[in-house]
Amino acid sequence: MQLDLRKYDAAAEIDRVTQALDVKLDRDTQIRKRRSVGFRTDRNTWVRIEHQTLAQFARRGNDGVQAAMVLDGVTKPAWYQALSWIDPEHGRVWRADETEYVTSSHVIPYGYLRQAPAVSATWWDELVASLDALARHTTSRVAVRQARITEAIATVFPEVDITVTEWTTAHGDFYWQNLTAPDFYILDWEDWGTAPRGWDAASLWHNSLLVPELAEHIATVRRADLDTHSGLLCQLMRCAEVLAAPPGYADEFVEPSRLHAQRLVSQLTSPA
């Protein structure tokens, strides 16, 4: 059963976390997402509580935020402590992580970006440096598998060679909702691991298509990744997901996705 924390108040789970971590939560700072809820604490830290099914836990674990502490050169909140427990009655695993409190806000907390964020050249430099540093790390964690690329693209664009030839380390959920400004930080590290080269850049690029000049800027600053075969596949996969979705799912992205997909298919099928 899907559990949406935007609708489920998780009062019992929140009480368990406050007692176990010996912390008080500022309820006025609450940020709720589909699978997580976060609060500022009385010791000026941040506590994020998330859940997943047992099947999801078996596939990827739930220690991503803690494991990310080894990533040097990547701008992210420091990790301090955690609590994890199983709810066997409902087939779920819960986890709470206490991390550094970041004073800068999410670029957008939810929804779609409709205008370019007012960020500095230094902000973009830190984004580039963090993605480059992340890519240099090796890990046994897996963020994205070949099967996900194959499933998304093959039914929509069967003429494309969907074999990923380059793999690297990625955040895995690299969207404006997980970036902060004016100071640059990358949030929500639960899904990081190996992914096709260009995965994070392609995710942010597609997330920006409603602001064409911003999408073009991302394509420029991450060109070294996005112009590879794997990077082109990542962009096409994001477009294919929207084009294959039923009406009502990201409808505003359909037309720009269709236009870019035509270009990407042409690039991927043209003789070298």
Per-residue pLDDT reduced to its tens digit, 147-160 = 999 999 998 999 99
Which pLDDT score is estimated for 122?
98
More confident residue, 136 or 109: 136
Nearest to 81 by CA among 128, 55, 116, 46: 46
| Per-residue pLDDT at 213 | 98
253, 242 Cβ separation under 8 angstroms: yes
pLDDT band at 60 (very low <50, low <70, confident <90, very high): confident
CA dist 207 and 107 (Å) reads 12
Task: Report the percent of the chain where pLDDT is more than 90.
Answer: 89
The pTM for the full model equals 0.93
In this predicted model, what pLDDT tens digit does every residue of 131-146 receive, in sequence order? 999 999 999 999 999 9
CATH ID of 106-269, from 3.40.50.300, 3.40.50.2300, 3.90.1200.10, 2.60.40.420: 3.90.1200.10
User: From residue 186, how far is each of 85, 176, 194 by CA, in Å?
Assistant: 26, 9, 17
The phi, psi pair for 77, rounded to 5°, reads -65, 145
pLDDT of residue 16: 97
Quick one: average pLDDT of 177-193? 96
Domain with CATH 3.30.200 in the chain: 11-101
Other beta carbons less than 10 A from residue 10's beta carbon: 17
Which helix H or strand E contains 265, and what residues bound it?
A: helix 254-269
What's the rounded mean pLDDT across residues 71-89?
96
CB 256 within 8 A of CB 232: no
First to last CA, the chain: 47
Quick one: average pLDDT of 228-237? 98
Name the segment(s) of the chain with CATH classification 3.90.1200.10: 106-269
* Topology classification of domain 11-101: Phosphorylase Kinase; domain 1 (3.30.200)
pLDDT of residue 47: 97
CA-atom Rg of the chain in angstroms = 19
* pLDDT the model gives residue 217: 98
CB atoms within 10 A of CB 203: 25
